[in-house]
Amino acid sequence: MRKYPYIFIKILLVTAALAFSCGHACAQFIHGFDSDIRALRDNVAGNFSTEYDDVLQLSPAALAYALKAFGCESRSGWDRMAVSHGISAAAMISALSACNYGIRHETPGGEPHSFPSGHTSMAFMAATMLHYEYGWRSPWWSLTGYSLASATGLLRILNDSHWASDVIGGAILGICSTHLGYWLGDLIFKDKGLNPEWCRSSWREFRETSPCLEIGFERKFIPGREAAKDSGELPFRGSGVYVCGTVPLNGWLGLRAKGSAGALMFKDGGSSNLYSLRAGASATGRLAGPLLWETEALAGYSSCKKSDGPDFSAAASLNLLCGEYFKLKMQMGWEAFRYPAAGRRWLNSATAGCSASFSF
């Protein structure tokens, strides 16, 4: 039997325990982040509404079963796949119900049972199923599934049906439920019902020499100048999302491009969207086992309601390899962009964020 990497589930449990122990501070951080992302959504697409997310949540699973039905050999036989998927769905639904009724969190519209997002949990559970069954044939199947799942989560936010934290929680729940389902399925069936071609394949781990696509969230902390913040000249915080692509030049150095969209928040309740496009270099290396270090230095252009101009950033991150094609990242950094206000030409901010990276 092939050994699957479940270390990231342990890391998530430890993170959850730390978050619980720092309950009030964590709740304040999440509330601020959710408010910022909703402000970004309201500024961009205040009247957006669609029902496509109802269909997209099931599309990765539909694709997996369609491929199987039309004769494209998957990792598992029908019986083994059905059991693994049944356990995954049962685990996801049980945890979803417990969280929905145990965590008193309302949707932006005031409806109960907001956390985590059921649509997003279903979508990422289905995407991870597709990844297990067909990712070994081509990473493009995995990328397709996770792209559809990510689109589902994005639409839940754009529809103003969920907060960003609901969507992130749903994604984690869906992925972990599927890994649990396949782990138990492997214990039950052992080597029975496995595709011999899958057993002979070299389903590679994440490699530093592979191009990567990364999607993440970050929070900006703007230090000092309290009087200017109180008067509304300067924002006091911000949050955003970003997409990043990296092309390695060798085993440790690469070229990186990063596009981001976020909201700068003011104490009078106002907000201003900030868009930036940056490019530069990154470096990465192994620390120990599944842990990697990574740094980046980027320069580019940003635009907001107050000003347009140059944007510079630098960051360092700790990365965790999580199996086939994936790594999770915790990042801290600094960003400075042109913002002529309160007697200054530049606005500096410390940044903290997390992301998931997929290699090809």
Q: Which tens digit of pLDDT belongs to each residue from 321-355?
A: 776 677 788 899 999 998 887 677 888 899 998 88
Please, what are the domains in the chain? 48-200 (no CATH), 212-359 (2.40.160.20)
What φ, ψ does residue 242 adopt, rounded to 5°?
A: -150, 155
pLDDT of residue 8: 52
pLDDT of residue 323: 63
**Strands 326-341 and 271-288, sheet pairing:** unpaired
pLDDT of residue 46: 76
Contact 240, 247 (CB under 8 A): no
Contact 213, 243 (CB under 8 A): yes
Average pLDDT, the chain: 83
Q: Which tens digit of pLDDT belongs to each residue from 141-184?
A: 888 898 899 999 989 988 888 888 889 888 888 988 998 898 88
Q: The whole model's pTM is what?
A: 0.82
pLDDT of residue 9: 56
pLDDT of residue 162: 87
pLDDT of residue 29: 72
Contact 294, 284 (CB under 8 A): yes
Q: Which tens digit of pLDDT belongs to each residue from 182-198?
A: 888 888 888 888 878 77
Higher pLDDT, 51 or 27: 51
DSSP state of 343: T
pLDDT at 210 over 70: yes
pLDDT at 206 over 70: no
pLDDT of residue 302: 93
pLDDT at 2 over 50: no
pLDDT of residue 296: 95
Range of lowest pLDDT (64-68, 269-273, 277-281, 356-360): 356-360
CA distance 81 to 185: 8
Higher pLDDT, 103 or 134: 134
Residue 5: pLDDT band (50, 70, 90) is very low
Q: What is the CA radius of gyration of the chain?
A: 21
CA distance 129 to 85: 7
Residue 1: pLDDT band (50, 70, 90) is very low
AA identity, residue 106: E
